Structure 1
Amino acid sequence: MFEFITDDDGDRGQVGIGTLIVFIAMVLVAAIAAGVLINTAGFLQSQAEATGQESTDLVSERIDVTSTVGIVNNTSDPTTLAELRVGVAGAAGADQIDLSSATIQAVGPNGQKNLIFTGTNQTNTTVAGGAARIGNVSDIPEGAFAVQDSTGEFVPASDAVLNDDERFTIVFNPETAPFGATDDAFSQGQETSLAIVSPSGATTSVDLRAPDLFTEGGEAVRL
């Protein structure tokens, strides 16, 4: 009528409880591991997306150089340049590129400088002679570059945007460092190198070398 629990039954119960504890522990460990893997996968996905976007930007914001020209000083002794001009366009498939947010790393006969945009509407830059706007190349201050449109007009920051329809000319004052000095402008046979860095960090390099001899003032020479 009565059933007694033997020692063998007690041992089996203890083994069953131990197995259950181990099973629960394994489930907990698996759950923690799964959570770590999910978090890691999400982090890696975010990193991959950010890296992919940066790589896309480096391609889609690349600037192409279309021409490099110098304008010889129109003086009785035309041995220096009055303007340095670099034509630029957006690379094939490029998105809009804001040239006013670009920087240009220049190395020339008079050192190295990082150049920033200056234009007709700049208020944080004092141009040569205290002029209110960039009207001539000589107004471009040291450490700066200006941008002209296809009509030769200097443009403000809001208009200095490369797109499928717009091409611009980046203009430098050869009488300022690192190209030259007021009494020693960029001249015959001299060289300078430029690295044009778009807002996304895409870099276009170009070397400028003046001819060894200028023939007449006011002429345009290929650099």
Structure 2
Amino acid sequence: MFEFITNNDDDRGQVGIGTLIVFIAMVLVAAIAAGVLINTAGFLQSQAEATGQESTDLVSERIDVTSTVGIVNNSSDGTLSEIRVGVAGAAGADQIDLSSATIQAVGPNGQQNLIFTGTKKLNTTQADSGADDLQNVSDIPDGAFAVQDSENNFVSASNAVLNDDERFTIVFNPETKPFGEGVGNNTYFGESEQSSLDIVSPSGATTSVDLRAPDLFNTDNEAVRL
């Protein structure tokens, strides 16, 4: 007549162990998820800092153009002997290595990517004799540009560094491509001709400048604004 309720101690123990296992599994999953989140946050922070620095460099590590001048070679032929672009570091810029810069030039004779050449001529065999030194802008080879200081001396790669105290002039040979048809072809950038330059600093900041020669040259060796 009486119903007795009894507890099964074995069943209660199995339930407790199962709950403990589930709890431990949840703790492990949470720890793994937390580790993934921490690693992801650290990666995103590093990536954001790098992207921010690159963005800052693209703005601040820029080369400013201060002047564009051509030197008349022969007024009767209407040709130039030099193309000179004065440059300085943008406000707030750190040191900018011009020897690591590249210049994408478009002119009357196509397009050319120009790289820095130092104080030595290329492809010479008279080393250490002085004959391999750059003496004139006409010595600048195809595919290259040179840099001069305030005294019109060609500077080496180690010295071609813009800073708060230094300004330089990037110099082009008007006979080289894309201004002329190339060294040895006796064609030069001249009257009424146009060219565009994209000066790309080592950080990737780009400065664009357009060159346009006057319609008429008057005097040999005169400086004309481009």
TM-score, normalization by structure 1: 0.89
Letter matched to residue 123 of structure 2: T
Provide the C-alpha distance between the structure 1 equivalents of 2:83 and 2:123, rounded to a whole number of angstroms.
Answer: 21
In the TM superposition, what is the alpha-carbon distance from 1:7 to its structure 2 partner?
4.0
- Superposition RMSD on alpha carbons, in Å? 2.0
Instruction: Show structure 2 runs of 5+ residues with no match.
Output: 1-5
Tell me what 2:113 maps to.
Answer: 114
In the TM superposition, what is the alpha-carbon distance from 1:214 to its structure 2 partner?
1.5
Tell me what 2:140 maps to.
Answer: 140
Which runs of structure 2 are paired with 1:117-132 in the superposition (5 Å)?
A: 117-120=116-119, 122=120, 125-126=122-123, 131-132=131-132
Letter matched to residue 92 of structure 1: A
CA offsets 1:111-135 (integer angstroms, 9 cap, x no match): 1111111121x47x337x9951111
Provide the C-alpha distance between the structure 2 equivalents of 1:25 and 1:66, rounded to a whole number of angstroms.
Answer: 68
Tell me what 1:208 maps to.
Answer: 211
Tell me what 1:3 maps to.
Answer: none
Tell me what 1:98 maps to.
Answer: 97
Letter matched to residue 52 of structure 2: G
Tell me what 2:156 maps to.
Answer: 156
In the TM superposition, what is the alpha-carbon distance from 1:48 to its structure 2 partner?
1.6
Tell me what 2:83 maps to.
Answer: 84
In the TM superposition, what is the alpha-carbon distance from 1:80 to its structure 2 partner?
1.0
In the TM superposition, what is the alpha-carbon distance from 1:78 to its structure 2 partner?
3.8
CA offsets 1:143-192 (integer angstroms, 9 cap, x no match): 00011111111111111111111111000000111101332211111111
Letter matched to residue 216 of structure 1: T
Tell me what 2:26 maps to.
Answer: 26
Provide the C-alpha distance between the structure 2 equivalents of 1:162 and 1:169, rounded to a whole number of angstroms.
Answer: 11
Letter matched to residue 110 of structure 2: G
In the TM superposition, what is the alpha-carbon distance from 1:201 to its structure 2 partner?
0.9
SS at match of 2:74: coil
Provide the C-alpha distance between the structure 1 equivalents of 2:77 and 2:219, rounded to a whole number of angstroms.
Answer: 6
SS at match of 1:73: strand
- Taking only the aligned residue pairs, the percentage that are identical comes to 79
In the TM superposition, what is the alpha-carbon distance from 1:52 to its structure 2 partner?
2.0
Provide the C-alpha distance between the structure 2 equivalents of 1:96 and 1:60, rounded to a whole number of angstroms.
Answer: 11
Indicate if the aligned counterparts of 1:78 and 1:217 stay in contact, CA closer than 8 A. no
Letter matched to residue 99 of structure 2: S
Which runs of structure 2 are paired with 1:182-201 in the superposition (5 Å)?
A: 182-201=185-204
Letter matched to residue 126 of structure 1: N
Q: Does 1:73 align with 2:90?
A: no
Letter matched to residue 205 of structure 2: A
In the TM superposition, what is the alpha-carbon distance from 1:13 to its structure 2 partner?
2.7
Letter matched to residue 86 of structure 2: G
In the TM superposition, what is the alpha-carbon distance from 1:103 to its structure 2 partner?
0.7
Letter matched to residue 118 of structure 1: T
Provide the C-alpha distance between the structure 2 equivalents of 1:93 and 1:105, rounded to a whole number of angstroms.
Answer: 25
Provide the C-alpha distance between the structure 2 equivalents of 1:165 and 1:126, rounded to a whole number of angstroms.
Answer: 34
CA offsets 1:62-118 (integer angstroms, 9 cap, x no match): 10000001111135x141111111000000011111111111111111111111111
Aligned length: 215
In the TM superposition, what is the alpha-carbon distance from 1:59 to its structure 2 partner?
2.8
